[in-house]
Amino acid sequence: MSIIIGVNAYHGDSAACLVRDGKLVAAAEEERFRRVKHWAGFPSESIRYCLAEAGLTLADVDHIALNQDTSANLVRKITYAALKRPSLSLISDRIRNKRERLGVAEQLDATLGKGFKGRVHQVEHHLAHLSSAFHVSPFEEAAVVSVDGFGDFASAAWGYGRGSGISIDDKVYFPPSLGIFYEALTKWLGFPHYGDEYKVMGLAPYGAPDHLDAMRKIVLLQDDGSFKLDLAFFRHATEKVSYEWENGAPVSASNLFTPALEGLLGPARQPGTELTQRHKDIARSVQAMYEEAFFHLLAAVHAKHGGTRICIAGGCGMNSVANGKIYSRSPFREAYIQSAAGDAGGAIGAAFAVWHEAGGSRDFVMDHAYWGPHATPDELQTLVEAQRTAIEAAGCTITHVADEAALCTRTATAIAAGKVIGWFQGRMEWGPRALGNRSILGDPRRADMKDFLNLKIKRRESFRPFAPSVLAEAVPDWFTETDDVPFMMQVYPIRPERQASIPAVCHVDGSGRLQTVRAETNPRYHRLISAFEAQTGVPMLLNTSFNENEPVVCQPQEALDCFLRTRMDVLVLGDWLIERHESPA
């Protein structure tokens, strides 16, 4: 038996997974346990969970796989430092990071106790990304592409996967980076926090790509499919501009852009100030430039390898708008993007890269994302009984509904009546998307549902859209693309004749970031949506993550706390139905 723990550490979205004999057993991001968004550092709690889920101890672990190799691309690093002479603070920061990454065994001893006697493997960052998509995909062979900010001195890599092997054709090395381009423009648009790029993606449909010519002065496409940046607009090539992590949390980041960017686009928007139409147009132009570069790269990859299948990974692999255009703007006809395409997913990629390097067989496909912690029926009952006084004091009734069909019918009826549901079931999702086990659910037919959720529960910007969870078998009737999207990683156009009937999940441009739901992978969620369809004729629900400006809830206590402090109407906690005696949303 072979036990491998994969790790993403010392960077945002720290995470761990456990692979036993080539099959994923457990995976979780550290933020879910620490309750700090994008937590960085060593993922000791994630490792602790994975071991417990597998019924193992550190002594049982044969390999630790880290999704970063400090020796990778070393010649290029030395050459760059010699030629460009970056600041001493940038060099010292890189040296400190290298030392941290070499201390994995020591971190295990310090946080989880002694006992690990296996090997520690460093897996080059982009190989881990490519492995995280291809090695768990259903494809025997496919083109593979990884695009992100930076990892191991590279910002992109591409090649081809066949069987258990991945061959890398080429990479884009520091300092060009599409991730840095998108992040710098995100900050120019006044969104300062780590991971705010998705806000720009949500804002873009409100604008027009009127500034694409300016973007083409920033991102320079190359004949081989790669790209460069005009570094006059950026500071990262010569200065330290990385995030500072305080107790695992991103607390600040200096601007990535130089005054030259403001000379090109005008003064940067200050956080919290008005979003003008010009800002929306620039957001659209940023997205358009990313797509132009992304599909330029995909065209070159296809020109070399042919085929119809592609696997996408890396932080930019989270750009669901671009992903949704792969079939219309490239020759590829099947795409696989796993639920944690970003750095967290590198933990899985590192583990599977080590497994296949050792000659392991390839007989695992990740067709769902439910790899996190769960609560047993006894644990849920203990919580409800312990909190009964507080629940009833909040004006709620508690009902245990043992029959699943009855539970789903009652919940669907509440949703159809305009109520907002906290839905806590089974194992927590792997990756940033709530996929029907840690979700807040609503009626997609209600035009006021989006604003209510944004203002009263999620407490976030009004322009951000909500996603539809749709029965997989109903996709052709509601979307222009017929595809399986289990991880909510693609945005597709909603059929024009259907858009008015589901305004809460139809974005301003007529699109939706759908999740396809199958009875085989999430039977209870599929049954709930089916019950809603039986009552309304609509085979989907509005689905957003179960949280309120915090990481997605992990444990049932966190779900109950979030329910009680917000204006949700109903909490379905396993088989327990907790209902407020108030008017619906």
DSSP secondary structure letters along 318-376:
G-HHHHTTHHHHSS--EEE--TT-SGGGHHHHHHHHHHHHTT----------B-S----
Q: How many helices (H) and strands (E) does the chain have?
A: 22, 24
Predicted local distance difference test score (pLDDT) of residue 583: 46
Residue type, 154: A
Residues designated as active site: 11
pLDDT at 164: 96
- pLDDT of 584 > 60? The answer is no
- Give the CA distances from residue 82 to residues 72, 85, 87, 175, 363, in Å, rounded to whole numbers and listed in that order: 17, 6, 12, 14, 46
E strand or H helix that includes residue 228: strand 227-229
Q: What is the pLDDT of residue 95?
A: 46
Question: Residue 452: pLDDT above 50?
Answer: yes
Whether 102 shows a pLDDT value over 90: the answer reads no
Phi, psi of 259 (to 5 degrees): -60, -20
d(CA 187, CA 256): 8
pLDDT at 585 > cutoff 50: no
- Range 519-535 average pLDDT: 98
Lowest mean pLDDT among 79-83, 350-354, 448-452, 477-481: 79-83
Q: In what order do the strands lie in the sheet with 23-29?
A: 23-29, 15-20, 3-8, 63-66, 119-122
Helix, strand, or coil here: 393?
helix
Per-residue pLDDT, 93: 53
Please, which residues have CB within 8 angstroms of residue 18's CB and are 6 or more apart in sequence?
3, 4, 5, 6, 24, 25, 26, 27, 50, 51, 53, 54, 56, 351
- What local confidence, expressed as pLDDT, does residue 241 receive? 72
Q: What is the full DSSP assignment across 274-316?
A: ---HHHHHHHHHHHHHHHHHHHHHHHHHHHHH--SEEEEESGG
**Mean pLDDT, range 540-558, rounded to an integer:** 96
Stretch 182-197: mean pLDDT: 95
Q: Which of 63-72, 292-301, 382-391, 558-567 has the lowest mean pLDDT?
A: 63-72
Query: pLDDT confidence of 528, banded at 50, 70, 90?
Result: very high
Q: 404-416 vs 523-536: helix axis angle to the nearest 10?
A: 50
Mean pLDDT value of segment 515-523: 98
Mean pLDDT (the chain) is: 93
